Amino acid sequence: MDATSSPQLVQTGPERFEAGLIYRYLQPDGPGPYPTVVLLHGRFGDEDVMWLFRRVIPRPWLVFAPRAPLAEPGGGFSWHTQPYGQWPDLAAFDPAVAALTRFLEALPRLYNADPDRLYLIGFSQGAAVAYATALSRPGIARAIAGLVGFVPRAQPETIAGRLNGLPVFMAVGEQDPIVPYAEAQRSAEALRHAKADLEYHEYPAEHKMTAAGIDDLQAWLHGQR
């Protein structure tokens, strides 16, 4: 499948069973192992909503967008069910971390993804899952981009040094009503305490990525190659 094809949906069969999640993917032509990006949607999203970020990803890279495992009553899917205004701790994301870890570990076997070049791009709650997975499973990702998301709460001593130089791109909306500015600042400080190699950006926006933010993300991601 070439890089311009439509993303393929996997919702049944042995690949779905091994990966544990429903997902879409684009696989490049040519031999692997492939650098791989996994796009993680936010609460109430699905495997389709993150493909707008496809244009920032270097080609030819392997790209996946899994569907979160929890169906929401009003539609869409989530990694963790949380009341608005409450910020879950790291342990609350353990089921999501386990589901994502299973998914990531299946990709080299199923699609010849390079396990040493796995990149996570998460939006909102998807960013929280990416951060939680990196903190719980150090070394599982080569780099993380967290877009208008947050770091799950943790005692400082439990995350000190856990990211150990991991490149992290963090995008913050200055007028974000979903992840308020103060929560974003706490999250940035947590990443610094965990010794992430943090590239921090603020944008005059609410809970979304601006065109400038997408350009910055693209430049950062191409710099990770």
Length of the chain: 225
127, HSE (Cβ side, Cα atoms, 13 Å): 21
Tell me the two tokens of residue 14: 């042995």
| 12-42 confidence digits (pLDDT tens) | 999 999 999 999 999 998 888 999 999 999 9
What is the chain's Cα-based Rg? 16
Name the residue among 138, 37, 40 with its Cα closest to residue 80.
Answer: 40
**Distance spanning both ends of the chain, measured CA to CA:** 22
Res 154: pLDDT: 94
CB count within 10 Å of CB 175 equals 11
161 CB neighbour count, 10 Å cutoff = 11
Packing angle between helix 94-111 and helix 125-136, nearest 10 degrees? 80
**Is 8-223 assigned to CATH 3.40.50.1820?**
yes
Residue type, 218: Q
Sequence ranges of the domains in the chain: 8-223
| Mean pLDDT per 10-residue interval, the chain, length 225 residues | 70 97 93 94 96 91 97 94 82 97 97 97 98 96 97 94 97 95 97 98 95 96 88
- Tell me if the bond preceding 60 is cis, omega within 30° of 0: yes
